[in-house]
Amino acid sequence: MLQRFKVENFYSINTAQEISFEINEKDKLDDSSTKIQNKYLNNISCLLGHNGSGKTNLLRAVTFLFWFIDKSYEHQRSDKTIPIESHKLYSNKNSKFELDFVHENNFYRYIIELNKNYVVKENLSQKIERGYSRIFEITRDSDKKIEKLIFGNKKIKLNNSDFLRLEEKNNISTFSFLKGAGYLTPLKLENFKNIFSNKFSNIFKQGRKWFDPLEASFKYSKQLSESENIFKKVSELIKDFDLGISDLLFRDYKIGLVTENRSIKILHCKHTKGQKSFDLPIVEESEGTQNSIYLLSDLLNILEIGGIAIIDEIETSIHPYVVKKLISLFADKKKNKHNAQLIFSTHQAWFLQDRTKTQIFLVEKDGNLETEVWCLDDMEKIRNDENYFNKYMTGAYGAVPELKWF
């Protein structure tokens, strides 16, 4: 689980901005948080702000960091620049990230400083009784050469060949290199990858992902047809969403040449009126119905294995009642047995009614064109029994557009 995330100089973010998932016991008002040791961590976090405030960039920062920690050694060629963008007004500054997270009841801290050309510093430590115990630390000089490489455990010792490889691949995370080269296995840290790999995000480098309807119908039909458990849960829940669907099923469609005799399964939605019924391929359903089924499929997969879901504009083409139901899955301990977390952005202040003040983060851009984020709990005299929706809509909390009416 995530405990704290901090980012500096990334797209519209310049000065360091932080999102904390840790709360005090008195602020635990429902089942939307998880106790680990003596700490409580939120399972749900909401970013709210007007267009262009930087909500997507905050979520993009989390998605980028997860990918870079876990996959950069596998995906990043030595001659490629790091796919990161600094604030346009501060292009000479390095970007910095900090991540506090929990794995198997142990608390860890990951810190990295980098730019488009190379990783400047990187550190991974484990929380002990007093402070943090270093697992590894690496620093590179201005020529991109390794200036310092220290391991806190004698079981990790790079041979000369791997040291030279790591020095050459200065555009990847040391964590991903150690994992890929097998150095984390003796420390029983190999499963760290589950923290960063078990995620769903609808964001990529250019922003929110958009799927071609036909392409999405093939993708999710395949995904659901190969997971009987997830398909069963989707089928059960989708009938509660008042979408006019009485059941889900698959139809076989022949593809290729007639002589090949190949077929694929395509998801269909069944509609029933009395004794009569018909079914439609998912691609012929409304955009809202498609998005509801696809998002539910992805969220249920995260709930099944544990991990994190990062959703930008969660309400896109979906009715708010349906979205509230989807969000509530992460506050249901029977459905969220592996303490999965959901971070989402929205323009629907109505969703604040179900959240606590520690789960609401407001985002806006200041006069210097820099994104700022703050937790509602950080503001003075905010009560847990307030009507957050009404107060936000009146502008009491800020993070609303200043419209000029003509």
| Residue 2: both structure tokens together | 């995530």
Q: Based on the number of CB atoms within 10 Å of its own CB, is 200 exposed (0-12), middle (13-18) or buried (19 or more)?
A: middle
- State the DSSP code for 268: E
pLDDT value, residue 191: 65
d(CA 208, CA 201): 9
pLDDT value, residue 403: 73
Query: CA triplet 71, 77, 82: central angle to 5 degrees?
Result: 70
Q: Domains in the chain, please, with CATH?
A: 1-198+306-406 (3.40.50), 212-304 (no CATH)
């997830």: which residue's tokens? 230
- State the DSSP code for 386: S
d(CA 11, CA 277): 51
Question: pTM for this one?
Answer: 0.93
| Residue 237: both structure tokens together | 């829940």
CA-CA distances (angstroms) from residue 369 to 15, 53, 101, 122, 366?
11, 9, 30, 29, 5
> How many helices (H) and strands (E) would you count in the chain?
9, 21
d(CA 399, CA 374): 10
């190379």: which residue's tokens? 118
Non-local (6+) Cβ contacts of 362 within 8 A are: 47, 48, 49, 373, 374, 375, 376, 397, 398, 399
Neighbours of 195 (CB within 10 A): 23
Backbone φ, ψ for residue 286 (5° rounding): -65, 160
| Residue 288: both structure tokens together | 């809202």
pLDDT value, residue 255: 78
Sequential pLDDT tens for the chain (406 residues): 999 999 999 999 999 999 999 999 888 888 899 999 999 999 999 999 999 999 999 999 999 999 999 999 999 998 999 999 999 999 999 999 999 999 888 999 999 999 999 999 999 999 998 899 999 999 999 999 999 999 987 778 899 999 999 999 999 999 999 988 888 777 666 666 567 777 888 887 666 777 788 999 999 999 999 999 999 999 999 998 888 999 999 999 887 766 667 889 999 999 999 999 999 999 999 999 999 999 999 999 999 999 999 999 999 989 999 999 999 999 999 999 999 999 999 999 988 888 999 999 999 999 999 999 999 999 998 988 888 989 999 889 998 887 766 5
d(CA 38, CA 36): 6
pLDDT value, residue 377: 93
pLDDT value, residue 402: 76
pLDDT value, residue 400: 86
pLDDT value, residue 405: 61
First to last CA, the chain: 48
pLDDT value, residue 356: 92
d(CA 400, CA 54): 13
Backbone φ, ψ for residue 55 (5° rounding): -60, -45
